[in-house]
Amino acid sequence: MSQMYEIHLYVPKYNKLTPKMIDWLYENGTRTDLPEVYWPIRKIRVKALARAILRLDPTLRAFPSAQEGDVELHYPDETMGIVLYVHDRGVIVFFPYLAYGVYSRVVLGICYTYIRFLYELVGFWHYDPQLNRLGFADDYLHLERIAVLMDKIMPRLLGK
């Protein structure tokens, strides 16, 4: 089984998302006892967002998640390994670590399409925990950094 790369998508409440807010999310993101006012990101209507993504790409396959209320959208070509995990605070885009040049850029291009759509639809920002980078969907250079990371670093980390 390959290791998965992930990009987290959030909608900031006040058009601002800082590294400190991301740290808070990682520490408290699974808590259900906090009032809404504490959250730096908007709550998401999971099924409505999943339906909007399915309108963009009706070939995605929807599956209920192990976490009740969440939805997984799987890319139809299983060899790509792309999954969009829609939860009540955002979306996580998963795809396998790749070190194959053109193939990795194809997968990143597909993921970028979803990220850009969500940015334009609702204003999602993205956070890349692997590179510890917060940004907007129009930051295409960030995807190039991911491709370079996969091409140069990942073969060594994965022992290939």
Span 53-90, pLDDT tens digits:
999 999 999 998 888 899 999 999 988 899 999 999 99
Span 85-106, pLDDT tens digits:
999 999 999 988 765 566 777 8
pLDDT for residue 157: 55
pTM score:
0.85
- The CATH number of the structural domain formed by 4-157 is 3.30.310
Question: Which residue, among 63, 113, 73, 77, has the nearest Cα to 94 in the 3D structure?
Answer: 73
46-56 vs 102-122: helix axis angle to the nearest 10? 130
Span 108-144, pLDDT tens digits:
888 888 988 998 888 888 888 877 878 776 666 666 6
**Does residue 111 contact residue 124 with C-beta atoms inside 8 Å?**
no
What is the radius of gyration, based on Cα positions, of the chain?
Answer: 16
Longest dimension (CA), the chain: 47
